Amino acid sequence: MSHQPVIDGLEFAQAASKLQGAWPVTEFARLRDALRTEEGTLRYELQGMPETHGRPALRLIVDGVLPLVCQRCLGALEYPLHIEALLLLAATQAEVDAEPLEAEGPESIVAGREMAVQALVEDEVLLAIPIAPRHAACARAAASAPGATARPFAGLRGLMDGWKH
């Protein structure tokens, strides 16, 4: 039987509960398209926080290595993932929508009585992986003269640099 915890968000936060576990990457249906192989495991820790920024919250940590594909040379790219997210709990979607969007800082999510932890983890992972992952020192880039090759993802460079840890 696969690990499929479901939490009551508010109760979990107020009780400062803790949960941890791991899944093979193949168990994340929405992630599979981006993966080159079926190897890898993602570990997570979820911690309830009774009050953070005046609100109940969940702190989520995810670690693992994802087998992605370098979009420049199409070779294997072992992408190390480390996520630390703070998810403030809101009572309703309207409450979430009313908040200003901030690039940095905690996100808000609607607190449910039956929140699937795997879906929470997958949401954060999908936000964290680059749209066009590339080797930091790609063999193909080193082999070709600057400007000699079309670089369809060059425009994403600034965006991707912002995502590096």
Q: 30-68 b/e with 16+ CB inside 10 Å = b?
A: ebeebbbeeebebebebbbbeebeebbbbbbbbebebbb
Question: Between 93 and 144, whose beta carbon lies closer to Zn ion?
Answer: 144
State which of positions 124-163 bind Zn ion (CB under 5 A): 135, 138
CB 62 within 8 A of CB 44: yes
Q: Which of 69, 72, 79, 121 binds Zn ion (CB under 5 A)?
A: 72
Nearer to Zn ion, 68 or 85 (CB): 68
Q: Distance between terminal CA atoms of the chain? A: 35
Phi, psi of 140 (to 5 degrees): -70, -35
Among residue numbers 75 through 94, which ones bind Zn ion (CB under 5 A)? 75
Residue window 42-71: x/- pattern of binding to Zn ion, with contact defined by CB under 5 A: ----------------------------x-
Provide the binding-site residues for Zn ion, judged by CB under 5 A: 70, 72-73, 75, 135, 138
